[in-house]
Amino acid sequence: MHADSQTDLFAGDGGVVMLADGACVLRGFATQASAALLDAIDTVTTIAPWRHMVVPGGRRMSVAMSNAGALGWNSDARGYRYATLDPLSEAPWPPMPAAFTQLARDAAARAGFAGFEPDACLINRYAPGARLSLHQDRDERDFSQPIVSVSLGLPAVFLFGGPKRADPTQAVPLQHGDVVVWGGPSRLRFHGVRPLADGEHPATGRCRINLTLRRAG
Ligand code: SIN
Ligand code: FE2
């Protein structure tokens, strides 16, 4: 699926792979911006540190998370919600870095969703072994707006399913700089991430970082 990562690296924008109607991978779309994105992630996570949230039912997520933007996604024993304040500090989430907004806007437009203006960015950090089970992104208010998902650091296998949890999934290998966009008829498709394989990446060290940019409010 990602046969020519070398070409992608130098092309910056290595092409579009359609996953479904309204869903695609933009190979290497964030490669050029990756250093600026990682700098901004450092700034955000200095203010709103990485934490392992708890899901309703009590399990602690293996993925570490933070947020930037007017709204931040949070999970605790009572449920999932977007909120303006970081529950750890009770201060607003750090502002959305300009590099995030620009990349999200450009990637959405490239995927056919012009005018995307994210107000929430969930930042996920996967250490080796961390995974994200199949879920839908459905805590946002307006499902006409897409999700823009940016992969940085170690490669991962993204699972892209259908509208029902039991639907078959496509296993999509994602590399540093790849961006997945899903919206329109694919907006509520189930998706997840297989347990991260161990490794070392020059940009991030021993982890993968994913940004998911949303219009939440
Ligand atoms: C997510 O679904 O929030 C993240 C997906 C990913 O890490 O690629
Ligand atoms: Fe998601």
CATH number for the domain harbouring residue 115: 2.60.120.590
| 133 alpha carbon – ligand 2 mean position (Å) | 9
Percent of the chain with pLDDT over 70: 94
Q: Residue 102 — φ and ψ, nearest 5°?
A: -65, -45
Q: What is the pLDDT of residue 50?
A: 98
Domain span holding position 32: 4-214
CA of 188, nearest ligand number: 2
What is the CA(174)–ligand 2 centre distance, in A?
15
Give distance in angstroms: CA of 137 to centre of ligand 2: 5
Which candidate, 145, 141, 142, 147, places its Cα nearest to that of 182?
147
Question: Which range, of 11-15, 137-141, 196-200, averages the lowest pLDDT?
Answer: 11-15
Check: CB of residue 171 under 8 Å from CB of residue 159: yes
Residue located nearest, by CA, to atom 3 of ligand 1: 212
Average pLDDT over residues 55-70: 96
pLDDT of residue 67: 98
178, two tokens: 């790849």
Which residues have a Cβ under 8 Å from the Cβ of 166 and sit 6 or more positions away?
none
Query: Could you read off the pLDDT of 95-132 as tens digits, one per residue?
Result: 999 999 999 999 999 999 999 999 999 999 999 999 99
Instruction: Tokens for 116, please give them.
Output: 């995307």
pTM of the full predicted structure? 0.93
Checking if the pLDDT of 69 tops 60, the result is yes
Mean pLDDT of the chain: 94
Least confident of 12-16, 131-135, 184-188, 209-213: 12-16
Distance (angstroms) between ligand 1 centre and the Cα of 193 equals 7
Q: How many domains does the chain have?
A: 1
Cα–Cα distance measured from residue 197 to residue 156, given in angstroms and rounded to the nearest whole number = 7
Instruction: Check pLDDT > 60 for residue 40.
Output: yes
Give ligand 1 pocket residues (Cβ under 6 A). Answer: 122, 124, 132, 149, 158, 191, 193, 210, 212
- In one-letter notation, the amino acid at residue 102 is Q
One-letter amino acid of 40: A
Atom of ligand 1 nearest to the CA of 151: 8
Residue 64 near residue 7, CB atoms below 8 Å? no
- The label of the residue with tokens 């992969």 reads 151
